[in-house]
Amino acid sequence: MTTTRHLLTGTELSRDDLLAVLRRAHELKAAGVGPGATAPSHPASLAGLSVGLIFQKPSTRTRISMEVGVHELGAHPLLLRPDEMQLSRGESVKDTARILSRHVHAVGIRTNKDSLLEELAAEGTIPVVNLLTDGHHPCQVVADLLTLQEAFPERLSDDGGLDDLHLAYVGDGNNVARSIALVGAIAGLRVTVVAPDGYQLDPAETTATLSDDPRTGVAGADCLYADVWVSMGDTDSDERRAALRAYGLDDALLDAAAPGAIALHCLPAHPGEEISAEVLYGDRQRIWDQAENRRHAQKALLEWVLRAGPFSDAA
């Protein structure tokens, strides 16, 4: 019996799996599907399938990239908002998982607690994809790795790994930082997380280098990464901004990194806080490529969990 594939933290991917997903993402991007395409080569690898998309938190990039990406693969995206589901009225996750498993082929969910995601995967019989939880954001990081491969093609290992690259995440050690450390390590990426005391990752949960000094932490880094200081649900906004004030990504911090270093940001951005407007809209960043790459990375991940396209069991 075939085991159901899930993407809950990203650590479900082996190095071979992850690099194969990235190769497929490059292929899907090169196929020319999307705005401005003159003769798109539609892969339609999920033709006839349906993918449920549950958004219990606001979303721009994830919502757009997933809904469009599912359509581009030939499947039907079924958008499910909190007020449209009985989950909001007390129906159990167990019952919801059983119903979804009878009607759709996979489900992606953007929610708060990782435990809800885990229960959905445990109680259902279809793949579950993490579109963001309090603990992890694996889809974002696969798109980040795709962007780094595009930015530094001459630095990749023979198998496409990022073993020769160093990324320094600067700011709040949140779900994105955790996923960069976990999933980046699978691809061979060297990761440093630079954050003040009280906002750093737990040393027990990561092999990343941890630092509280921005200038020292970014030394030699090929990429500097920022995220918002105040995320959805954070109630201590003034305290956070005060603690993180010295951790903004600007041209001076990029100058302290390796020559030719680029800036990434998972968005939404707040210019003047975690990143300067000059970097966000300047020529030292790949942020808007990174935002587009969410779609291509997620299409490849959907094929992987559904064993479609090049990931077919028969392939």
- CA-based angle 69:72:73, to the nearest 5? 90
Element (H, E) at 277: helix 277-280
Cis peptide leading into residue 43 (ω within 30°): no
Give buried/exposed letters for 240-264 (b at 16+ CB in 10 A, else e). beebbeebbbbeebbebbbeebbbb
Given 5, 61, 105, 110, the catalytic residue:
110
140 is catalytic: yes
How far from chain centre, in Å, is Cα 309? 21
Given 26, 61, 136, 294, the catalytic residue:
294
166 is catalytic: no
Residue 262 tokens, joined: 């680029």
139 is catalytic: no
Given 5, 137, 265, 296, the catalytic residue:
137
Given 24, 26, 250, 266, the catalytic residue:
266
313 is catalytic: no
Q: Exposure of 3 by Cβ count < 10 A (0-12 exposed, 13-18 middle, 19+ buried)?
A: exposed
Given 105, 136, 139, 140, the catalytic residue:
140
Phi first, then psi: give them for residue 57, nearest 5 degrees: -135, 155
Given 134, 144, 222, 227, the catalytic residue:
227
81 is catalytic: no
110 is catalytic: yes
Catalytic residues: 110, 137, 140, 227, 266, 294
